[in-house]
Amino acid sequence: MENNDCLKELERHKKLLSATLLLNSSLEPSYIHNKTIEAITEIVSAEVGSLLLYDEEKDELFFDVALGDKGEIIKKIRLKIGEGIAGSVAQSRKSLIVNDVNKDPRFFRKADEQSGFVTRSILCSPLIYKQKLLGVIQAINKKGNDIFTDEDLNLFESFANIVAIALENANLYNKLKETFFQTSFALAEAVEKRDPYTGGHVKRVTEYCLAIGEELGLDKETMEKIELSAILHDIGKIGIDDYILRKPSPLEAGEIEVMKSHPQIGLEILNKVRHLSDIVVGTFSHHEKYDGTGYPKGLKGDEIPLIGRIIAVCDTYDAMTSNRPYRKGLDDIIAIEEIKKQRGKQFDPLIVDAFIRAFERGKIISQNKRELNHEN
């Protein structure tokens, strides 16, 4: 091999190797989407990179990420397989160079019209993993008014291969996580349905908790822990007998004691799971009170895990605003006043503040309000 050829080949391999390391260093699809778009411009010297994912159910391509101020417009565009250059590539599963899009009848003009962007040239490759179409990547406008070459195409195809692997791994991971969370939710809902009057509680409490987490600016990992913890917070009720759970009148002292064992039962159930210790704390501590008067441990202030403090507010708010056989749910405004009164007493003041903010933004929608809107 000539030295010049070798140097080119080496450059190409260096780019691909660092792209692989980068893309495989996360199982987060959004990370991979963003890094792919960034890497495209680098790999083949393009002005812009884009990634279209394949929606198998609808047999369409869509933009999951689109940067810039027209990003939101671009994200609404969906291409049928066969439509536009991207759709043609998805259909034929063969890469394509179009160095003057104006001369190509396949070019889908709408994206440019809506975004104000001017596309001159496109290099497009399909993302295929084990025969399966995952999407396409596009390099748009070769820098320096230049054209895309067969060499670019070659490199872009190798890069597409790398993207497909990283994407597939992230998809698998996320599909599994989704299945895990949905299964937990389905079982938690089934447990809650034993008491016909608590329908929707788990769902609403989970939504409220996530709204608080968002107000607090918590990271994705913590948000996921909060979600699973909220889903499973009442799972211990599996161990409470029907006659207590379904009693249509207020419980008597002895029955209240049995009912109060549900955080402990939840702990015992979930403690058998090896990697769930961060989740179990929320299940176990959601009836603790900030001033130390709660149960089962009588923990005080920050001794109560954050997840427990968050669930406590949401759980109480939902219990107050939901209808029971022996009483109608409180009006939202009255319930919010009750929550405020417990700021620093039953509840962590910072969590109450975040909850109020979320409420004011319209993110806390009580059962009452949902029924008015005919929502679940």
In the complex, the smallest distance separating the C-beta of residue 23 from its own copies, rounded to whole angstroms, is 9
Closest to its own copies by CB, 154 or 183: 183
* Residue 117 DSSP class: -
237 is catalytic: yes
**DSSP-based three-state secondary structure for 132:** strand
Output the furthest CA–CA distance in the chain (Å, rounded): 90
**Catalytic residue (choose from 220, 237, 341, 369):** 237
Contact 38, 139 (CB under 8 A): no
Contact 98, 104 (CB under 8 A): yes
In the complex, the smallest distance separating the C-beta of residue 2 from its own copies, rounded to whole angstroms, is 8
Tokens of 210: 């996530």
Closest to its own copies by CB, 32 or 330: 32
Closest to its own copies by CB, 180 or 326: 180
Where do contacts with its own copies occur on this chain (CB under 8 A)? 1-3, 6-7, 9-10, 13-14, 16-17, 20-21, 24-25, 27, 161-162, 165-166, 169, 172-173, 175-180, 182-187, 189-191, 193-194, 235, 238-239, 241-243, 265, 269-270, 272-276
Contact 36, 163 (CB under 8 A): yes
CA distance 128 to 120: 26
CB atoms within 10 A of CB 356: 18
In the complex, the smallest distance separating the C-beta of residue 244 from its own copies, rounded to whole angstroms, is 10
* Residue 361 DSSP class: T
In the complex, the smallest distance separating the C-beta of residue 325 from its own copies, rounded to whole angstroms, is 18
CA distance 76 to 66: 10
Closest to its own copies by CB, 65 or 164: 164
Provide the total of helices (H) and of strands (E) in the chain, helices listed first: 16, 6
Active site residue ranges: 237
